[in-house]
């Protein structure tokens, strides 16, 4: 069966994967870009944006694994946008412009479903009010033989980890202390016992942890 993968999921030393106070101008809230600077520097991120340049090296080697073999993504509503509650309009199409970098169906978990959005380049956003198991079934059907990526944010990744639905988790522990925000690890005591865990620290100071189902 296809695997469920999380990639490039950036977490501060104190366990936060998003800052507090998300707005249109600050997708990561008070964290600014500090959680993802390591990723922004990579060639993989530049390529994702259709730009030349970026650093090679170990951060890039790990970052670039995010897309291969992926046939669908599942994300939370707060990764998709800063709105809360019922949609006041349906103009918002995500942070990524007309041609988002996913190029697959993307299932956006929300208690406020709205019509699907077909974007350029193969990305189609579907808005789904469902349990992790139910949305995963839909994503697997859409992905065919390919894997499903859980794209975040922390509330969403945590749910899939709690239900033991994740086969591969790549966490990038960034040497910053955020102090507040949305935690990844809450409620996941003993998580490491379900996985083979490996780590490597890169010269930039980011520790990459992979949790792989044995």
Ligand X SMILES: NC(=O)c1ccc[n+]([C@@H]2O[C@H](COP(=O)([O-])OP(=O)(O)OC[C@H]3O[C@@H](n4cnc5c(N)ncnc54)[C@H](OP(=O)(O)O)[C@@H]3O)[C@@H](O)[C@H]2O)c1
Give the binding site for ligand X (CB under 6 A).
Answer: 9-10, 17-18, 22, 27-29, 35, 76-79, 84, 109-112, 129-131, 152-156, 159, 182
For the bound state, the minimum distance from the C-beta of residue 71 to ligand X, rounded and expressed in Å, comes to 19
Query: Would you report the helix, strand and coil content of the chain in percent, each value rounded to 5?
Result: 25, 30, 45
Tokens encoding 158: 């945590």
For the bound state, the minimum distance from the C-beta of residue 154 to ligand X, rounded and expressed in Å, comes to 4
> Which is nearer to ligand X, 127 or 195 (by Cβ)?
127
For the bound state, the minimum distance from the C-beta of residue 212 to ligand X, rounded and expressed in Å, comes to 18
For the bound state, the minimum distance from the C-beta of residue 145 to ligand X, rounded and expressed in Å, comes to 25
> Which is nearer to ligand X, 109 or 139 (by Cβ)?
109
The CA-atom distances, in angstroms, between 112 and each of 87, 106, 126, 130 are 7, 16, 11, 11
For the bound state, the minimum distance from the C-beta of residue 149 to ligand X, rounded and expressed in Å, comes to 11
> Which is nearer to ligand X, 104 or 159 (by Cβ)?
159
Instruction: Determine the Cα–Cα distance for residues 153 and 93; give it in Å rounded to an integer.
Output: 17
The contacts of residue 74 (CB under 8 Å, 6+ apart) are: 106, 107, 109, 135, 136, 139, 148, 149, 150, 151, 156, 160
For the bound state, the minimum distance from the C-beta of residue 73 to ligand X, rounded and expressed in Å, comes to 11
Nearest to 77 by CA among 123, 109, 102, 105: 109
> Which is nearer to ligand X, 64 or 78 (by Cβ)?
78
> Which is nearer to ligand X, 48 or 193 (by Cβ)?
48
Instruction: Determine the Cα–Cα distance for residues 36 and 206; give it in Å rounded to an integer.
Output: 10
> Which is nearer to ligand X, 144 or 202 (by Cβ)?
202
Q: Which segments of the chain does DSSP mark as H helices, in order?
A: 37-40, 43-48, 58-63, 77-80, 132-143, 154-162
Instruction: Determine the Cα–Cα distance for residues 200 and 206; give it in Å rounded to an integer.
Output: 8
């Amino acid at each position: 069966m296809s695997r469920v993968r999380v990639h490039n999921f950036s977490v501060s030393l104190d366990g936060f994967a998003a800052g507090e106070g998300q707005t249109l101008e600050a997708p990561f809230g008070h964290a600014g870009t500090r959680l993802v600077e390591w990723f922004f520097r990579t060639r993989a991120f530049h390529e994702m944006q259709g730009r030349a340049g970026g650093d090679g090296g170990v951060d890039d080697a790990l970052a670039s694994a995010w897309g291969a073999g992926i046939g669908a993504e599942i994300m939370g509503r707060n990764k998709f946008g800063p709105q809360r509650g019922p949609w006041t309009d349906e103009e918002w199409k995500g942070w990524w412009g007309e041609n988002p970098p996913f190029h697959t169906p993307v299932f956006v978990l929300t208690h406020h479903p709205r019509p699907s959005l077909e974007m350029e380049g193969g990305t189609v956003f579907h808005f789904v009010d469902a349990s992790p198991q139910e949305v995963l079934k839909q994503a697997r059907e859409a992905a065919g033989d390919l894997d499903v990526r859980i794209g975040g944010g922390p509330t969403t990744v945590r749910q899939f980890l709690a239900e033991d639905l994740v086969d591969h988790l790549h966490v990038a522990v960034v040497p910053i202390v955020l102090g507040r925000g949305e935690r990844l690890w809450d409620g996941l005591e003993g998580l490491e016992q379900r996985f083979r865990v490996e780590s490597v620290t890169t010269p930039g100071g980011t520790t990459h942890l992979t949790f792989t189902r044995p």
